[in-house]
């Protein structure tokens, strides 16, 4: 392998880690293995700290392919709790409102989910990496500032109800770049005339890459010890 000329690797991001932390961990260990001071390492498609699953990491000149991977179709499995909302639409922040749920039943949920298939408009979460006047929305939101974001057009290819265990539902979502599953949870709750937030989120696929093809954090050292390096790999990246 030649990490400077460029390699594409697949990781299973662990819970509570940011995507940047995983990239930094791998970059540090890779630099030590190669004996270089710096090497380009980047990721395609950020995952929230409370999400797990497929994260594509590119090294060296392969970082030019990041945009290509970002535009590929994504698949997620999400667990939603109905009847409650949080400011972040997941468990990063505590429940701020409770809503009626007596009117909700499985058939209603199935019908509501159908409304989200196809091209939709979605307002990103305030707790997101979207920029507002040059600042990240999540920085403003965490400081208690009001954040207003414009809706974005995206495509939901599939939504499947995997399980209904009221007040919890599990769904599988196949979608385009830019889809916020947390925002989808918010919108599903509103469509049910109630509320909802994520309690679990896992990205199971990017393009043709599935989670069973991914390396875990604990595998990094063994992988780097065993990998065969090209003869020119120990030359520092220019």
- Active site (catalytic) residues: 48
| Alpha helices for the chain (secondary structure H) | 19-34, 66-70, 106-114, 137-142, 181-191, 220-226
- Residues 6 or more apart whose CB falls under 8 angstroms from that of 157 comprise 73, 117, 174, 175, 176
Half-sphere exposure at residue 174, Cβ-oriented, CA atoms within 13 angstroms: 9
**What's the angle, vertex CA 87, arms to CA 97 and CA 91, rounded to 5?**
95
Distance separating alpha carbons of residues 119 and 93, to the nearest angstrom: 29
Q: Which tokens sit at 158?
A: 């599939």
Please answer whether residues 58 and 8 qualify as being in contact, where contact means their C-beta atoms are separated by less than 8 angstroms.
yes
175: helix, coil or strand? strand
């Amino acid at each position: 392998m030649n990490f400077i000329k460029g390699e594409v690797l697949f990781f299973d991001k662990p819970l509570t880690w940011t995507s940047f932390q995983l990239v930094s961990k791998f970059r540090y260990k890779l630099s030590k293995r190669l004996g270089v001071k710096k090497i380009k390492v980047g990721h395609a498609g950020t995952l929230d700290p409370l999400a797990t699953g497929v994260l594509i990491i590119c090294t060296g000149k392969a970082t030019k392919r990041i945009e290509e991977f970002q535009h590929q179709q994504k698949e997620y499995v999400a667990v939603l709790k109905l009847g409650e909302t949080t400011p972040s639409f997941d468990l990063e922040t505590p429940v701020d409102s409770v809503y009626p749920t007596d009117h909700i039943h499985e058939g209603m949920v199935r019908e509501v989910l159908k409304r989200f298939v196809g091209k939709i408009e979605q307002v990103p979460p305030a707790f997101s990496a979207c920029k507002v006047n040059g600042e990240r929305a999540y920085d403003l939101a965490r400081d208690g500032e009001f954040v207003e974001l414009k809706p974005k057009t995206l495509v939901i290819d599939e939504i499947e109800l995997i399980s209904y265990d009221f007040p919890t539902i599990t769904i599988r979502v196949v979608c385009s770049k830019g889809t916020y599953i947390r925002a989808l949870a918010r919108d599903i709750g509103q469509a049910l005339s109630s509320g909802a937030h994520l309690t679990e989120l896992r990205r199971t696929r990017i393009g043709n890459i599935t989670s069973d093809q991914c390396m875990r954090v604990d595998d990094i050292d063994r992988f780097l010890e065993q990998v065969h390096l090209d003869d020119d790999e120990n030359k520092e990246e220019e």
